Structure 1
Amino acid sequence: MRARFPALLRTSFALAVAAFLWSCEEPIELNLEQQKSRLVINSNFFPGEPVRLRVSATRPAGTMAVPVTNAQVFLYEGNEMAEELVFVPSTNDQTSGSYQTIDFRPQVGQSYTVHVSAEGFDPVTAVSSIPAPVPITSLSIADLSIERTDEELVYDYHLLVDYADPEEVGNYYDLRIYQRVTPYRVTAVGDTVLQQSYLKTVGTPTHQAEQSKTISVLLQDLGRGAPVRIHLQSRIDPSREFIGAVVAELRTVSPEYFFFQRSLGPDLSGVSSGLYEPLILFNNVESGLGIFAGYTSVALDLQLVAPL
C-alpha cells in the first residue's frame, strides 16, 4: 500500500527532488508516458428488463469521460451470444444515450458477459449475474415523533426492516428507503385537488435529504440477527403535501454491484481526518473502467402515522 504523506512532508519532499534535478550537471529526461484513453462502461441490469449500458472513454490527460456512440456491444448468456446491443439516443439533453437489448431479457441465476469494442480503444469485457430475490418479512416503525417548524413537518422515527436472509448462501444487499407523498392544491373556491403521488427522499437526524439523493444502506448476511434499524426523518410541506407510506426497497445484488456502491459511498459519520482521501472506485471491467452488475428488487411499504 502506498503511504500517504502529510501535506508539509509531501511539499518538502517535492522541493528536495526539484533541487536535486536542478543541481545535476547533465540534463535528466523524464519519460512520462501519456495515459492511454480507455473505455468506460456503466450498467446495472435487472431481470425481465432490457439490458442498458452506457459507454464512454477517459481523456488522455485526465479522468473526465466522453460518450462513445460508435461501439460494438455484444451480450453473452453463459457461452452463448444473447444479442448485440443497439445504440438508442437519449431524449434527455444531459445524456447521449445508451446501448440496449431489443428482444433479450436477462434472468435470475444466469451469468452474463458483455464485450465492448470501439475504434481506437482496447476492447473491454465484464462479467456479472443476477442473484435470487430475498423477500422483506416485516417492516415496522418505532419511536415516532413529529415536530412542526415554520415551513415543515418533520417526522422522526426508527425504521425496522427484517428479511429472509438465507443462511446457506452468502448474499449482498442494498436497502433503499423512500417517502411517498401526495401533492395537492386548493382551488379558489376552497376545494382540495390531489395530484399524482411520488417517492420523495428521506434524511437522517444529521443529514437532511438532498435532491435525488436516496438513503442507501449496504448490507451483507443478516443471518438470524436482529432486524436492521435505521434512524430516519421525513420532511414535508403541509401547505402543499400529504404524507403517505414509507417504502423500503430491498435489492439483492451481485458482489460487483455491492463493492462498486460501497466504493462510491461518502463517510456519513461527520468526522474528517483533515487529509485528502482519494476516491478509489471498484472496477470489474477488464482492460477498461466502470461497472457491469446485476440485481433483483422487492419492496414493502408502511403507512407513517402519528402515535395516538
Structure 2
Amino acid sequence: MRKIVFILLSLGLVFTWACEKTIEIDIEATKPRLVLNAVINPDSTIAVFLSRSMHILDNQNVMRITNARVFFYEDDIEIAEMQHVENGMYVCDYYPKIGKKYSVKASAKDFDDIKASCEIVPPVSITQIDTLTTYDEYNNPNLVVDINFKDPPEQGNYYIIHADMQFTSEYIDYSQFRVDTLYQNQDTVIIDTTWGILVKNKFREVVGLNSDDMIVEQIYLGGISGFIFSDEIINSQSYAVKFNLSIYSWVDTDELKYTFYFKSISRDYYYYLRTLNAHHDAVNDPFAEPVFVHSNVENGIGVFGSFTQDVDSIIIDPSRFEYNWYYK
C-alpha cells in the first residue's frame, strides 16, 4: 500500500513539475523617421502634418515635428515653402488643380529627408440617386439607396462613398429668459419675465452605411463610415452601388437631409485606407496576420493622397420611419 501511495505521489510530482525558460528578445533601436500625412483636394488650401515614428516599446504621445522645412511643388516646380502654424501642421495658401502632379519635400534635424507625390484625379459624377422603401418581417420600413455613376474608361479608378445627415430642431432653452419692459415716466419698468426661449439649431451627424455589394469594402476611419472600392471589376461600366441607410432622429424635426459624398481618390490613398482599416481590424485579434500599412512617402512613413468629389442629397420625411426615432 505504501508503495502504491509513493508511486502515485511520484507521478503527481512529475505531472505538476513546471519548466520555465526566460527568452530574451533583442529588439534593435531603429532610427526614427519622419511621418507625413496629407490629403489634398481642389476645394481646400494645402495642409501637411508632420510627426516622427515611434519604437514598438515607446509609450509616450505622438511627437509632432515643429522645426521642419517643408516645400510644396506643382509639376516639379516649387510653389511655396510651407509655414508651420501649430502642432506639426504646415500650410500654404494654394488650391491644387485637377490633372496636376503635386509633391511635398520635408527635412528636419536628425531625420532623413522625405518626399511624396500624388496627382489630383478628375471627379466622377453621381448620375442618379434611386431610393426604395422595403419592409422587414415586423413591417418596419427600411430605405435602400442606389448611387449611380459611370466609371471612366481609364484603368485604375478608386472611390469612397460616405454620408451625413442634417436636420433642424426647435426646443425651449430654459437657461435663457425674456424680459418684457415698459418705459413710463422716464423709467424702465419690468412688467413680465418669461423663462425659456424658443431656439432653432442645425445639426449634422455622420451616418452608417451597410452594403452587401461585392465590390465595396466597409471602412470606419477618421469619422467616416462608408465604403471604398476600385473599378477592377466594373471598368468603363455604368454601375449602381446599393446600400441600406439608417433613418433615425433623436429630436422632433420635419425633415432629414442626407448628403452623399462620392469621392474619386488617388491610388496610394486607396491602398493606405484599405491597409489601415485592415490593421485596425486586426489589432484586437491575437491570431490575425500582421498588416503593413501602405505608404508612398520616400524615406519616411505616411501618405500623401488626393481626392475630388461630387456631392448630392435627398430629403426624407421622418414620419415614415418613426420606429427608428430615439426621441420624439
TM-score by length of 2: 0.70
**Is the Cα contact below 8 Å between 2:262 and 2:310 reproduced in 1?**
yes
Mean Cα deviation higher: 160-169 or 186-195: 186-195
Instruction: For 2:150 and 2:120, locate their aligned partners in 1 and report how far apart those are by CA, in whole Å.
Output: 18
Which residue of structure 1 aligns with residue 89 of structure 2?
98
Q: Give the structure with the larger strand fraction.
A: 2
1:54 is the counterpart of 2:67: no
Which residue of structure 1 aligns with residue 185 of structure 2?
none
**Is the Cα contact below 8 Å between 1:34 and 1:61 reproduced in 2?**
no
Which residue of structure 2 aligns with residue 132 of structure 1?
122
Which residue of structure 1 aligns with residue 153 of structure 2?
167
Structure 2 counterparts to residues 239-258 of structure 1, below 5 A? 239=252, 241-258=253-270
Task: Report deviation, 1:300.
Answer: 0.2
The CA RMSD over aligned residues, in Å, is: 3.6
Q: Indicate the percent of aligned positions where both proteins have the same amino acid.
A: 22
Which residue of structure 1 aligns with residue 226 of structure 2?
216
**Is the Cα contact below 8 Å between 2:65 and 2:88 reproduced in 1?**
no
Unaligned runs of 5+ in 2: 1-19, 175-193, 213-219, 322-328
Change (3 A) 1:62 1:32: closer
**Is the Cα contact below 8 Å between 2:123 and 2:308 reproduced in 1?**
yes
Change (3 A) 1:265 1:211: closer
Structure 2 counterparts to residues 179-258 of structure 1, below 5 A? 179-186=165-172, 193-204=199-210, 213-221=223-231, 222=234, 223-239=236-252, 241-258=253-270
Which residue of structure 2 aligns with residue 65 of structure 1?
62
SS at match of 1:287: coil
Change (3 A) 1:113 1:211: closer
Change (3 A) 1:224 1:162: same
**Is the Cα contact below 8 Å between 1:254 and 1:294 reproduced in 2?**
yes
Instruction: For 2:68 and 2:248, locate their aligned partners in 1 and report how far apart those are by CA, in whole Å.
Output: 44
SS at match of 1:265: helix
**Is the Cα contact below 8 Å between 1:74 and 1:114 reproduced in 2?**
yes
Which residue of structure 2 aligns with residue 109 of structure 1?
99
Instruction: For 1:233 and 1:286, locate their aligned partners in 2 and report how far apart those are by CA, in whole Å.
Output: 41
Unaligned runs of 5+ in 1: 1-14, 22-29, 90-95, 149-153
Instruction: For 1:135 and 1:278, locate their aligned partners in 2 and report how far apart those are by CA, in whole Å.
Output: 37
Instruction: For 1:267 and 1:59, locate their aligned partners in 2 and report how far apart those are by CA, in whole Å.
Output: 17
Change (3 A) 1:211 1:253: closer
Task: Report deviation, 1:58.
Answer: 1.5
**Is the Cα contact below 8 Å between 1:179 and 1:234 reproduced in 2?**
no
Deviations 1:183-216 (A, max 9, x none): 321468998642124243335499xxx9973222
**Is the Cα contact below 8 Å between 1:38 and 1:289 reproduced in 2?**
yes
Instruction: For 1:212 and 1:112, locate their aligned partners in 2 and report how far apart those are by CA, in whole Å.
Output: 23
Instruction: For 1:285 and 1:72, locate their aligned partners in 2 and report how far apart those are by CA, in whole Å.
Output: 16
**Is the Cα contact below 8 Å between 1:155 and 1:233 reproduced in 2?**
no
Instruction: For 2:64 and 2:122, locate their aligned partners in 1 and report how far apart those are by CA, in whole Å.
Output: 33
Change (3 A) 1:180 1:266: farther
Letter of the aligned partner of 1:78 in structure 2?
D
Instruction: For 1:243 and 1:202, locate their aligned partners in 2 and report how far apart those are by CA, in whole Å.
Output: 18
1:42 is the counterpart of 2:48: no
Change (3 A) 1:205 1:300: closer
Task: Report deviation, 1:265.
Answer: 2.1
Instruction: For 2:263 and 2:242, locate their aligned partners in 1 and report how far apart those are by CA, in whole Å.
Output: 17
Q: How many residues align?
A: 265
Instruction: For 1:107 and 1:267, locate their aligned partners in 2 and report how far apart those are by CA, in whole Å.
Output: 32
**Is the Cα contact below 8 Å between 1:177 and 1:249 reproduced in 2?**
yes
Task: Report deviation, 1:226.
Answer: 3.9
Instruction: For 1:211 and 1:35, locate their aligned partners in 2 and report how far apart those are by CA, in whole Å.
Output: 28
Instruction: For 2:280 and 2:132, locate their aligned partners in 1 and report how far apart those are by CA, in whole Å.
Output: 22
1:83 is the counterpart of 2:80: yes
SS at match of 1:286: coil
SS at match of 2:248: strand
**Is the Cα contact below 8 Å between 1:236 and 1:243 reproduced in 2?**
no
